[in-house]
Structure 1
Amino acid sequence: MEVLIPIILLFILLIIGTPVGFTLAIVGAVGLYIVGGFGAVEGIFQTAPYRNASSFILTTIPMFMLMAQYASKSGITKEIFDGAKAWVGHFRGGLATASVIASAGIGAISGSSSATAAMMSSIAVPEMTRLGYDKKVSLGTVCSAGTLAIMIPPSTVLILYGILTEQSIGKLLLAGIIPGIIMTIAYVIVVWTWVRKNPELAPTIEKVSWNVRFRSLKNFWPVLVIAVIVLGGIYTGIMTATESAAIGSLGMLIIAKLFWKLSWKGIYDASLNAVRTTSMIFMIIIGAHIFGYFLTISRVTPNLIGFIEGLDVSTWVIFAVICILYLILGCFMDLTAILVLTLPLIFPITQSLGFDPIWFGIIITILGEIGLITPPLGLNVFVGASAAKVPVEIGFAGVWRFVIASLVVLIIIAIFPDLATWLPNQIK
């Protein structure tokens, strides 16, 4: 009953729409009171909020949020799509391919899947519709490609995973590069095979001159510069992940102000949006730690680990069960909520089974990508459909090929873990 009452309360609060951070804090407080009385609650609340929110590594989150907002408000994100369109737009399904490439580029300066999906849906879907693309192709591609932002660094999901599991954020960000590239290629292959079998779904457009193509390359240089600053600084060891995020954010501000004429109002709006998002994430982190203390005191975690370790099944059977669990949860819950609710239980189990924590972070992120486009929740599909003013059922009809592609990539990364761990292992 000590565990059952808080868990029931948890689901009730989530069902009625209570914000995740407050839900975790309330449930954690109730659980601590049941297990340890008022003294346990008072002790945790006196120390946990400040200690967990004042961590220097958390500075990474607002810095990457600012970077994304500066790029969005300045119009850099739209020009990335225009540049990709100039190079591949004339191929069959070229605009959809350009959307995948642009989403990967925007993901490299965003870190937010829903933000990328919203931006690309408002930019790319109307353009594809105007040129005769089937809406299942256009919206399905954009919503699915938006998930690349949580794999390609800087990824807020990998940052949150690193904070919750106390893993190196720098290594996690580097670990997302190769799987992110593989996922991008897989999505492009999906588009090409889809429109090749059904050419009427994606008409070709007029080819632009080589002069226009080369001039469009200037649209990509902010992404390249910021990627070199952030990832190069981490990889060479010159900067920590936090320092790279801060310098990258400053670099994006300078680029957006000097070369894209970002207004002072745009800077204010970008800063305000970053503060709002960061506040929400910080509340989730605080609530997750309070909930985690309850799980520790009630001995839920060690008892669950002992139970699973005692099962007479293969390690990979347990891994498959964990993947299925995350796929199911992804159909009904926000990824952030899934991470903060499950990692205190699942991560110790994976460590007891000998799984590499960096590799497992990439596996979780791929599963999260799938959850973002699967019904009934499918946050990216709802966000993208709203931004594009297209019925949400069309979006869900267009994403299932990309779900299959994501599952194939998941299997590849599971079989060949070096694809995720080789690059971060090069850091001394």
Structure 2
Amino acid sequence: MKCKNVPLSLLKVGAILSSPIIDPVDSRVKLLAEGTVITDDFMRLLASRRIETVVLNQRDIAILFAFTPQGRRKKVPPPPAYIQSRKANDFSDALDSLVEDGGELSLTEGERSLSDEFVKPAGCAYANGLTIQWANESDKRIEYVNEFFADTAEKGANIGPLRITCAELLDRLVEDQDALVCWACAPYESDYPSRHGLHLAALAMAIGVEMGLGRTDLTELGIGCLMHDIGMHEVGLNMFDNAGPLVHGQLVRLADHPVKAIDIAGRFGNEISNLARFVIYQLHERGDGSGYPRGLTAESIHPLAKIAAVADAFIGMLTTRKHRTAIQGYYAVVNLLDEMKVGKFDPAAIRALLKATSLYPLGSRVTLTGHKIGRVIRSGGTDFVMPTIEMWDEDYPDRPPEIVNLKESPAYQITGSVPARAA
């Protein structure tokens, strides 16, 4: 796993790192053993030694940057001209037949919406210690998903860890939906596809909450998101190693991976429902027929797959890739709105995304009127440009932030998006 030097200021009290911190002067000395909690005393020790940087692996950097979006770029590169797959198997044929017959493109009937089970916190910061706790727990969950993928490759996996993961995400949605969405909107580029799948599942489930879905549909949506890229292991993850655009042969393999994924999902029999299978198989389809593997149009795409498609495109733009840095959240939202206008994405899912994360997505740094700077921490619901923010004066950035609900503070308005600092 790649390592890099990071400034001492990025270390967070409460973080649990997977690798030791080594003395930069004497590499034989461990300043902090792996699996040990970073404490105030340890931070003082580093300061007393005048240590300014430490070497960390990507997984540990991801823990420290949880809840901190990496977007620095404004322009979204145009997508490639996707092609359709010629591959098929018994499980893809079964779903294709359901689509052709016009059946089963529906949601669970009569289920209570999860949004009826909780009241979203408003006008306040996240609970003390919540962000670092969730960052540590999410890293462990990514390890479980990695193990699931490895076991699946050996045809010995159990779907249980994915259901446990989705149950945990449901609990987090109930505890603090805004905090979970903020975490989801700050993906780091390591541990693909497990980390990508977990961020995708969290955001897709939050979008589903805003669309009134209940626990059953949200769970199947989450399982589909976690598994959707499992076919990439068979077509080759290394196709993304190059900094340039994908060439024809790579696009062929890319188009095949949902077909491979649904074949793998078929090994689990009734443990994976058709709801989850449609997400796995159709997530990369687009309403205007420009997606893959089958080039379906909107009426043939399952509602859960439409939600997952929006979340996947959004998380993809927010993630640093070999050929580009991550896109700033505001510009990623604008790109989705533009693509919705030409029929690629479902308008209801886009609106639900905006309700979940605002026009300036949760975690984004913004400028405001009155020489203020801020960080978006709570969505404004249907008031897409009026979230709740932590706000500082530009001239005094070290002072404690003020929590401001822009709905209740007309004197302040967001004037722009601020690019993230480099990780």
State the TM-score bracket (shorter-chain normalisation).
Answer: under 0.3
Structure that is richer in strand per residue: 2
Q: Which has the higher contact order (CA 8 A, sep 6+)?
A: 1
- The two structures have a TM-score, normalised by structure 2, of 0.21
- The two structures have a TM-score, normalised by structure 1, of 0.21
